[in-house]
Structure 1
Amino acid sequence: MDELGSVLLAAMRADMDRVGAIAHNVANVSTAGFKRVFSMAGGPGEPLLQPDRRQGALSRTGSPLDVAMEGRGFLAVEGQPLLSRGGMLRRDDQGRLVFAGSGLPVAGEEGALLLQAGAFRIDASGALFQGERRVGRLRQVQPAPDTRLEAVGNGLYRFHGGVDEVGHEGQGRFRQGFLEMSNVNASTEMVALVATTRHFESLQKVLHGLDALHDRTLRTLGEF
């Protein structure tokens, strides 16, 4: 295939990657803490899906096991290179505070967070209390500027690179009894889907025309 045909095929593959990202966004429009993703060229293999880190709206749930973050930062998974903005939590059978969707332990500043039976509260700084006893504090991190985040499902992102601890002065504010909603706008995604589909179809027509031109050229040359 000539250079123009290769360029057209690359553009069509990019459109298909964009459609895949749009479908992923629409499927997660109601997923708490989900960040809209967009496709980036990443060389051979799977496209890179990078999250749009803008804040989603907060919704009051009243559940003590829900916690939202206002401002910068991510919650961390204990012992794994995973981050999340989704604050739907639960206690597992070991008494650990874990992410509800994945069952992975939420990281505290000093390791996993262990809770006794009974009520607990989370203050604006992320400190956990049972009665007057301080249990620990949610670890809050911020990806370094050159760190890439890869969406892996259940509102989790695998980070490739480094993360920085968010200092107390620069940290976001925690809101117990709230969830951060997805920052996906379904209407915007549908408009993007229509535009991307039309662009793909126009490239497809050009490619078909190019193939037809090549066929005519070969037939003409064969007559000599």
Structure 2
Amino acid sequence: MIYTALSSMNAAMDRQRMVANNLANASTPGFRREVFAVTAATLRDGGIEARAIARGTVRGADMAQARVNPTGQALDIAVGGEALIAFQDPAGGELYSRRGDLRVAPSGVLENGEGLAVLGEGGAAITVPPGLAVQIASDGNVLARDPAAPAEEPQVLARIKLVSPEGSRLAKGIDSFLKVPGGGVLPADPTASVTSGALEQSNVETAATLIEMIDAQRAFEQRAKIIQTAGQLDEAGARLFSMT
């Protein structure tokens, strides 16, 4: 009984961590709510299968679209449909997110608010030559022009790698980013589009998440009470044996 309750307590703690992470990112642009799942694993030892342990894991992310708010910032983009923006993973490979609060770093690299470099369709980080004004077209092309020559046509530096997750398996890591398991990458989606001067908000519902946190805390307390009850039963049994 104690072992079963302890496994449930661990699952409840993991759920609380997930809920806390969702709540902490309720105002993070493009954040996708994490989804938690608990499964029961029955212990089979040839006897009665009465013991089961709980296994709780982050199953994935809720990809439902959130509200898009205009910001008026030229480098802010909101991705249309189900598309994702490809970023450079500091550990190697690619990360995917819908966070589109972009900026040009002092090094000239186009990055988002978390400092992740935006990838072009060629797989390399997009860089902007110094002194140029940058804007992003609806098809994801990064355009740059010389502020001293406003009459000149802007030059295309690169097209942001926009990918479609449809039909592909994605996993959400503890860093809150989506990845292809095994280090794979998603192909660019030429039909994807963006809205400039706007940001998609997080799809976390604050009120519902607070209720979920209370439920997770109560579940933890209930399992702790089971362990306490098991201890009381053990003590009562010991007293009975001492009387015989």
Asked if these proteins are the same fold (TM beyond 0.5), I'd say: yes
Q: CA offset at residue 118 of structure 1?
A: 2.9
Could you tell me which of 109, 112, 136 is aligned with 2:158?
A: 136
Match of 1:221 in 2: 241
Could you tell me which of 92, 107, 131 is aligned with 1:94?
A: 107
Match of 1:13 in 2: 10
Equivalent AA in structure 2 for residue 208 of structure 1 = Q
Q: Does 1:56 align with 2:53?
A: no
C-alpha contact (below 8 Å) 1:40/1:50 kept by paired residues = no
Could you tell me which of 10, 26, 29 is aligned with 1:29?
A: 26
Q: Structure 1 length normalisation: TM-score?
A: 0.84
Task: Kindly provide the CA deviation profile for residues 186-222 of structure 1, in whole angstroms up to 9, marking residues without a partner as x.
Answer: 0001111222222222222222112211111122113
Can you give the 5+ residue segments of structure 1 that lack an aligned partner in the other structure? none
SS in 2 for 1:75: strand
Q: Does 1:84 align with 2:80?
A: no
Same amino acid, percent of matched pairs = 27
Q: CA offset at residue 166 of structure 1?
A: 4.0
SS in 2 for 1:200: helix
SS in 2 for 1:101: coil
Could you tell me which of 229, 237, 243 is aligned with 1:209?
A: 229
Q: How many residues align?
A: 215
What is the alpha-carbon distance in structure 2 between the residues aligned to residue 124 and residue 140 of structure 1?
Answer: 12
Can you give the 5+ residue segments of structure 2 that lack an aligned partner in the other structure? 42-54, 145-152
Q: CA offset at residue 39 of structure 1?
A: 3.2
Q: Does 1:105 align with 2:132?
A: no
Task: Kindly provide the CA deviation profile for residues 69-106 of structure 1, in whole angstroms up to 9, marking residues without a partner as x.
Answer: 1211221123533222111111122322112322x321
Q: CA offset at residue 158 of structure 1?
A: 4.4
Task: Kindly provide the CA deviation profile for residues 155-179 of structure 1, in whole angstroms up to 9, marking residues without a partner as x.
Answer: x44442333214324x3x2011111
What is the alpha-carbon distance in structure 2 between the residues aligned to residue 221 and residue 20 of structure 1?
Answer: 43
What is the alpha-carbon distance in structure 2 between the residues aligned to residue 112 and residue 196 of structure 1?
Answer: 41
Q: Does 1:75 align with 2:85?
A: yes
What is the alpha-carbon distance in structure 1 between the residues aligned to residue 174 and residue 168 of structure 2?
Answer: 17
Task: Kindly provide the CA deviation profile for residues 105-159 of structure 1, in whole angstroms up to 9, marking residues without a partner as x.
Answer: 2100122222232322222221122243211100012446333221415xx4444
Q: Structure 2 length normalisation: TM-score?
A: 0.78
What is the alpha-carbon distance in structure 2 between the residues aligned to residue 71 and residue 188 of structure 1?
Answer: 25
SS in 1 for 2:139: coil
- The alignment yields a C-alpha RMSD, in angstroms, of 2.5
C-alpha contact (below 8 Å) 1:31/1:182 kept by paired residues = yes
Equivalent AA in structure 2 for residue 31 of structure 1 = T
Greater Rg by CA: 2
Q: Which stretch shows the higher mean deviation, 93-102 or 52-61?
A: 93-102
